[in-house]
Structure 1
Amino acid sequence: DSSRAVQYEQAHGNEFTDIDCPMYADYKHMERYGQRTDAKKPLIQCEYAHAMGNSQGGFKEYWDLIRKYPNLQGGFIWDFVDQSVRWKGKDGVTIYAYGGDFNRYDGSDKNFCDNGLISPDRVPNPHMYEVGYYYQNIWTTPADLKNGEVNVYNENFFRDLSAYYMDWQLLANGKVIRTGRVENLNVAPQQTAKVKLNIGKTCECKEWLLNVTYRLKNREGLLPAGYAVAKDQLILNPYKAPAMDLKNVEVVNTPTVAPQIQENDWRYLIINGDNFRLEFNKHTGYLNRYNVAGTELMNEDAELAPNFWRAPTDNDFGAGLQQKFAAWKNPGLKLTSFKWETVDNQTVVRAEYEMKNVSAKLDLTYVINNKGAVKVTQKMTADPQAKVSHMFRFGMQMQMPKTFETVEYYGRGPVENYSDRNHCTDLGLYRQSVDEQFYSYIRPQETGTKTDIRWWKQLDDAGRGLQIVADAPFSASALHYTIESLDDGWDKGQSHSPEVKEANLTNLCIDKAQMGLGCVNSWGAWPLPQYQLPYGDYEFTFILTPVQHGIEIE
């Protein structure tokens, strides 16, 4: 399909005539046709939104255009299903095989037969949920939310909404507070009706959200009664990030004692406090031990380190980003200054770096309170004269013991989501395992990220671990795989997700942002500009707070 699309583009230049039924036209071309007043027929893309690997980022923007312009009718996503066969790979591991797996003689375009919304065994790939959301035909928008009024638009052309009922939930900071149901929806085809919900009072002290779901009253074909055919999430009161002013925990009639600093070790800066011990490597400037109440929160020889890289997706490889962004894989970090001091009964550690390979400077600042909580500020200053590529992400990563298997978070879920593919996911409270974060794409690549996170906890079976909050909604992931193990390197290899062995760790990535996924095609297109991370200045602040029995230590 990639060669077919390239041939089409070379022949037509992606320009439209009345007889065109284009493939892989981007947003600008779609909008140009949408604005035409002389079009004699609607535009339907015969192939578009290439669904290869971890993709479908930017599908929203396609459908914003399609719904905006009457002469844009839609298109056929390439493809419906990953077209691989169950096979035996290395060491007898069951894989889904693709071109190049069967012998070394057949012509091959590697995994270009795997560009489906669903996997070969008909399990939906994560990106299918985004498509399903934008294909729904009932839409909810605010009317007067404070008084519980919403607008319900019936996008169907030939049926009213009498076959459905609406369930609604009112959430405060992710927790369901009230629920209700509207049995009768009197909305004619292509019409909007105002619906009053008895949501009660809210306040400005919390984030308030309204979830609405439309369900079948009776069975229709393969769909059972109660099946959800559409949904939306509306904001009544927006999220406000917490103050990043880390304070000491004061106890009545007990003086606050600053953490003790041991400076006599040539390799480590050791910080001891009330039931905690932190160690920084003086040669790297990184935190590489975090022990609280006898629990090691970091693997031996692990470190909390800056991270600008992801395991490239199929779309990344198609655009050659694994080569264009290569400097960020090893930006040439060199420690130039490492200092520490006690300020207001807290320890402050500062590390400064040069990043010669990307012509930038990086500062890491750690503020440690009397209970072992750490405020981390990562600040990059770019050279405005340098010509340096974009990057995949801006954040940090650390390796925790594998026993930290539980993820609790308040953010978008439950399926993985990215900056340009998170509209099908709802903000809410989720509890999942690290095993559940990894999705076995046909070929290993970036997976498991969640966006718009308010807080994230990484816990063991006893409820011990860390909570992360940041100065703005952030993204994170936790996998039993390293980024390196999912990365094919300079060129796409003959790799398969089931053949990648789990590591004896939980790799926690904490990001200010990660680049989007894109979906225009898998042979050159980038995500839309608003989902890219161009070279420039960045700053990210987050707080790591030790947790005992699922509760932050205070």
Structure 2
Amino acid sequence: MKSNLKVVAEAFKTRSDNDWENERIFAVNKEEGRSTFVPFADTEEMKGDPSYTRPWIRNQSSRYLLLNGDWKFHWVKQPSERPVDFYKPGYDVSAWKEIPVPSNWEMLGYGTPIYTNITYPIRNNPPFIQGQRGYTVEKEPNAVGSYRREFSLPADWKNKEVFIHFDGVYSAMYLWINGKKVGYSQGANNDAEFNITQYVKPGKNILAVEVYRWSDGSYLEDQDMFRLSGIHRDVYLVATPKLRLRDVHLTSVISDRFDKADLCVKADVKNYGKSAVNASVRIALLDAGGKTLRTFTTAAGNLAAGKEICLPAKASIRDPQLWSAETPYLYTVNLELLDASGKVLEATTQQYGFRKIEIRDNKVYINDALVLFKGANRHDIHPRFGKAVPVESMIEDILLFKRFNLNTIRTSHYPNDPKMYALFDYYGLYVMDEADLECHGNMMLTKRESWKAAFVDRVVRMVERDKNHPSVIFWSMGNESGGGPNFEAAYQAAREIDGRFIHYEGMNDVADMDSRMYPSIESMIAQDNEPRNKPFFLCEYAHAMGNAVGNLEEYWDYIANQSKRMIGGCIWDWVDQGINKPGEAPDRYYFGGSFGDRPNDNDFCCNGLVTPDRRVTPKLWEVKKVYQYMTFEEVGENNVGLRNHYSFLNMRHFNLRYVILKDGVPVAEEEFGLPDGKPGEHRTIHIPYLRHLTEDADYHINLEVKLKHDCVWAKAGHVVATEQFLLRERKQKTEVPELSASLQVVEERQYIRFRAPGTEISFDSKTGMMIGLRYDGQNMIHGQQGPALNWYRSISNDPREWIQPVVALRGFDWKLAEDGKSASVQSQIEVKVGQVNIPYTVRYRVYSNGRVDVAADFTTENNFDLPRLGLQMFLNPSLEQVEWYGRGPMENYRDRKNAAYMGRYKTTVTDMAEHYARAQTMGGRTDTHWLALTDGQGKGLRITATDTLDFSAQHYTDKDLWQVKYGHDLSDIRRAEVVLNLDCIQRGLGNASCGPGPRPHYEIRKDTVYSYSFRMEPLR
């Protein structure tokens, strides 16, 4: 009874003495937000530091001390169990284990990772942290991690101001130095800086941090992600003189003709000393080669003790090099703080790019050029390290963005690690920088006055930190939190700091642009045509969960060529949020529910264009093709039209390579430089391909636009755009086999066997099935499972459930031809799937040379959306080698095949499997003329379509894939035999896991008869 009363009391809790249960307390003794920079003793030291031109590299300033590494660590499941006095110098932590900082403690076996999309992992009773029956928090109410380490204060830091800086902590933290409480912070992805000058001492110091997994801030961190905890970003100390350069704000004014730029600097100087001082700031602007272009100074005058002043300064340059994602030119701005005698007290530096952002006619222009934002959303996640993403992984993501034609990243849904922005600037990406603000599970917080300051703080700290980065084009105030006055206040606060355009999908009226998530193409077009004087952006679309990203081209055909207000969109999302379990192999990826976490949203976190370990998926190849910046068209004989859709790059930066293919095999190629062609211009390129194209083959031309020279993100020769055109189609001929032998017919019980030298083809008259296809003693069919109806697939965008069909034979007959050299067989079968009937007929023509012609008709009903129609057969395990002439090399489907070109490809059945975190249907290939499955000696089976067909060859059935949960468990269900699917038609993929399904023309029509035919013959 007491426990029940406690639950009731908790449910009606109205106040708490805990800072972490008070929405009004989110910062105690914390410094105001500022831009990211590190102080140096002087400019000479600064220029010699490896971070000077590469700010993401570890800093070696004498004024900087990195505290990353192994810390003593103690974990408990709830606050009442924590070691309350652990921060005291006399408290013995020698027996504690160690934990690496940065890290998430759940990734190391402390507590439970929880994946949920909208539902709070705690009871939804803000601002309180309470358990919920059946949830993980019932057993782990609010885990607390106690961190301890020692550090030695450098001797030359005496008489300096000392600050400790945390780049990110989930979700709330207290700080002690040498047993004295310093302060408190919330905001897991905002930085927190504390002045610890009065707490440190010469020599050894003790640093203690107490981290709470949940706080009232967790109500504003309800993002669609794994909920992980701990100090997940860098921790470091900086030392400054008593007169400190506290902040720097860089902006620019560029003339309308772009022949002049003013660098505008606001330098915030603060006097921490006990007396007034005279000070000035000397600023130098350097070009990318290190040449000093301008030096100018601004003076503070007599700055009183404890006071701070903002010093404005400005300098002009002629003909500035402009920054864009295509041409990420960076200047260097060096700042020196000088005392009254001109002595350098400290120095710092910022990389800066000049660029002008404008909205004109409801479109976005950068440096006077129209820009379309071709992007993806990206969560901070690493399969082994969680949210403590290593720099190497950051760079890998950015290089993949660049190499696959994405120019925009939305930092969903929180500010990224500061190092990421230096990388964005350097490599060239447009950024929608998003505040750590999502109350998806309780949108009423947006309207509550008591939460306003917390909303504003999260937006302001983001803007203050990232304001100097040229890559940041838009601010985003948060995600999926509804609308209300708290966002109005956040907008005004951000606008007072910076003039960049502000996005917020949840309240378009307060933002500078309209935004939508997951509209159908029809809905998108309708909104684009609304009479609103704002750009229109898809902040999330093309939900890439599992085998997905259908009809992407049709979105972009409208956005790029027809829209009135659209400026682009960001696919959801970049990387599957699959994580490892401690101690397990690094290629095993888990999602919601895998850890016993409750509540959870299963695999809804696995929506990536790349796998957790950043393997490229076929989805990303499709994105690269659709997002490419060159388009092609056929222009008469031997000519190709090429249009430049880059905003800033000339065609001269690229080479063009063409390859002529005959029946998918290259027969000629050439590469040459492209002519002058400015952005938006069209050029006709002469291609001297073969003039004599025979009628007995298909001829295609493949075109590749390639980088002419190395750049920071790719080597010369990297392909940026591709296309394929059909030059000549094979003239179809009816092939009549030459037969010498006659068929021998053997009837044994229900079996009918057609025999000829080296050939035996068998049928079962009770099932209507072909059960044997034997060539030279080797049966191509495994387990008597010849061609039979395949109606099922299992992907994230479809209803996944397998329904056991009921199969009934409605008719079977056969007839030997008059010449005795061939025979016809017909099976009429009805398959019942639940309440749906799928009648189909298969007609075979069996020849004495082993050839079998197959024709099938499938009839659909009006009450069921079928995912596929075709025949499935099981083949001999020895037939592991696969070759085909059709689209490839990567997996492709009806509405996702733009990147897959006609050609002749080889692989193995094993390698046709894809790496989906959740096991599902995979490996499809479309528009196939023929395929061959052979053993190691080239013996096997060739299948030739009368027109074309789609196929997949796997060691799993679709039912197998439905029954297993994880992609890494496929080895547990792997069959020895080959499962060959020959599809007459398959439904498009669409994006229905969160968004619209396939377009109508990619659906399987109801009340329709579908037919196809193909030939099977031996390869001896």
Q: TM-score range by the shorter chain?
A: 0.7 to 0.9
1:467–1:314 CA distance, 2 compared to 1 (3 A): same
CA drift of 1:20 comes to 2.8
CA drift of 1:10 comes to 13
CA drift of 1:33 comes to 3.3
CA drift of 1:39 comes to 3.6
Is contact 2:741–2:849 with CA below 8 Å preserved after alignment?
no
Is contact 2:514–2:534 with CA below 8 Å preserved after alignment?
no
Is contact 1:21–1:45 with CA below 8 Å preserved after alignment?
yes
CA drift of 1:124 comes to 1.3
Q: What amino acid maps onto 1:106 in structure 2?
A: R
Quote the residue 1:138 is aligned against. Answer: 630
Distance 2:583 2:851 in 1: 46
Q: Which segment drifts farther, 128-137 or 195-204?
A: 195-204
Quote the residue 1:314 is aligned against. Answer: 796
Distance 1:123 1:538 in 2: 37
Is contact 1:93–1:498 with CA below 8 Å preserved after alignment?
no
**1:125 maps onto 2:617 in alignment:** yes
**1:40 maps onto 2:512 in alignment:** no
What SS does structure 1 have at the residue aligned with 2:589?
strand
Quote the residue 1:249 is aligned against. Answer: 738
TM-score by length of 2: 0.48
CA drift of 1:494 comes to 4.6
Distance 1:16 1:409 in 2: 50
Quote the residue 2:883 is aligned against. Answer: 408
Distance 1:72 1:274 in 2: 67
Quote the residue 2:557 is aligned against. Answer: 64
Quote the residue 1:430 is aligned against. Answer: 905
- From 819, 836, 841, give the equivalent of 1:363: 841
CA drift of 1:297 comes to 0.6
- From 978, 990, 994, give the equivalent of 1:506: 978
Distance 1:303 1:281 in 2: 10
CA drift of 1:336 comes to 2.2
Distance 1:352 1:405 in 2: 31
Q: What amino acid maps onto 2:726 in structure 1?
A: I
Q: Matches of residues 449-488 of structure 1 in structure 2 within 5 Å? A: 449-488=924-963
CA drift of 1:425 comes to 1.0
Distance 1:371 1:15 in 2: 71
Is contact 1:14–1:29 with CA below 8 Å preserved after alignment?
no
1:241–1:85 CA distance, 2 compared to 1 (3 A): farther
Q: What amino acid maps onto 1:540 in structure 2?
A: Y
Q: What amino acid maps onto 2:874 in structure 1?
A: Q
Distance 2:117 2:896 in 1: 23
Distance 2:626 2:768 in 1: 46
CA drift of 1:294 comes to 1.5
CA drift of 1:242 comes to 5.7
CA deviations on 1:61-99 (whole Å, 9 max, x unpaired) are 111111122422111111111111123799x89520111
What SS does structure 2 have at the residue aligned with 1:322?
coil
Distance 1:342 1:150 in 2: 54
Distance 1:399 1:355 in 2: 19
What SS does structure 2 have at the residue aligned with 1:47?
strand
- From 335, 345, 348, give the equivalent of 2:824: 348
What SS does structure 2 have at the residue aligned with 1:487?
helix
Quote the residue 1:193 is aligned against. Answer: 683
C-alpha RMSD over aligned residues = 2.7
Quote the residue 1:533 is aligned against. Answer: 1004
**1:397 maps onto 2:397 in alignment:** no
CA drift of 1:206 comes to 2.4
- From 184, 189, 204, give the equivalent of 2:674: 184
Q: What amino acid maps onto 1:454 in structure 2?
A: H
CA drift of 1:11 comes to 7.9
Is contact 1:16–1:22 with CA below 8 Å preserved after alignment?
no
Q: Which segment drifts farther, 372-381 or 219-228?
A: 372-381
CA deviations on 1:325-350 (whole Å, 9 max, x unpaired) are x6xx5453211222111124311111
Q: What amino acid maps onto 1:308 in structure 2?
A: W
What SS does structure 1 have at the residue aligned with 2:677?
coil
Distance 1:529 1:295 in 2: 44
Quote the residue 2:220 is aligned against. Answer: none
Q: What amino acid maps onto 1:341 in structure 2?
A: K
What SS does structure 2 have at the residue aligned with 1:222?
coil
1:400–1:52 CA distance, 2 compared to 1 (3 A): same
Is contact 2:587–2:968 with CA below 8 Å preserved after alignment?
no
Distance 1:267 1:342 in 2: 17
Distance 1:534 1:487 in 2: 25
Is contact 1:396–1:509 with CA below 8 Å preserved after alignment?
yes
1:98–1:2 CA distance, 2 compared to 1 (3 A): closer
**1:376 maps onto 2:854 in alignment:** yes
Is contact 1:211–1:233 with CA below 8 Å preserved after alignment?
yes
Is contact 1:391–1:515 with CA below 8 Å preserved after alignment?
yes
Is contact 2:513–2:537 with CA below 8 Å preserved after alignment?
no
Quote the residue 2:361 is aligned against. Answer: none
- From 26, 29, 49, give the equivalent of 2:523: 29
1:512–1:106 CA distance, 2 compared to 1 (3 A): same
Q: Which segment drifts farther, 77-86 or 350-359?
A: 350-359
Distance 1:70 1:197 in 2: 36
- From 662, 684, 693, give the equivalent of 1:172: 662
Is contact 1:15–1:29 with CA below 8 Å preserved after alignment?
no
**1:258 maps onto 2:748 in alignment:** no
CA drift of 1:257 comes to 3.3
Distance 2:661 2:688 in 1: 14
CA drift of 1:258 comes to 2.7
Distance 2:934 2:855 in 1: 23
Quote the residue 2:606 is aligned against. Answer: 114
What SS does structure 2 have at the residue aligned with 1:456?
strand
What SS does structure 1 have at the residue aligned with 2:800?
helix
What SS does structure 1 have at the residue aligned with 2:652?
coil
CA deviations on 1:77-125 (whole Å, 9 max, x unpaired) are 11111111123799x895201111112x422000111111111111112
Distance 1:337 1:168 in 2: 53
What SS does structure 1 have at the residue aligned with 2:523?
helix
Q: Which segment drifts farther, 331-340 or 232-241?
A: 232-241
Distance 2:941 2:822 in 1: 19
Quote the residue 1:220 is aligned against. Answer: 711
Structure 1 stretches of 4+ moved >4 Å: 1-19, 239-242
Q: What amino acid maps onto 1:296 in structure 2?
A: N
1:150–1:333 CA distance, 2 compared to 1 (3 A): same
Quote the residue 2:34 is aligned against. Answer: none
- From 161, 184, 190, give the equivalent of 2:651: 161
CA drift of 1:283 comes to 1.2
What SS does structure 2 have at the residue aligned with 1:379?
strand
What SS does structure 2 have at the residue aligned with 1:315?
coil
What SS does structure 1 have at the residue aligned with 2:919?
coil
CA drift of 1:279 comes to 1.2
Q: How many residues align?
A: 518
Is contact 2:945–2:1015 with CA below 8 Å preserved after alignment?
yes
CA drift of 1:467 comes to 0.9
Distance 2:959 2:544 in 1: 24
CA deviations on 1:286-311 (whole Å, 9 max, x unpaired) are 0011110122211133332121112x
Structure 2: runs of 5+ lacking an equivalent: 1-115, 119-223, 225-439, 444-478, 484-504
Q: What amino acid maps onto 1:236 in structure 2?
A: L
Quote the residue 2:726 is aligned against. Answer: 235
Q: Which segment drifts farther, 297-306 or 474-483?
A: 297-306
CA drift of 1:194 comes to 0.7
More RCO (CA 8 Å, sep 6+)? 1
Q: Matches of residues 511-522 of structure 1 in structure 2 within 5 Å? A: 511-519=983-991, 521-522=992-993
Is contact 2:611–2:915 with CA below 8 Å preserved after alignment?
no
Distance 2:780 2:924 in 1: 21
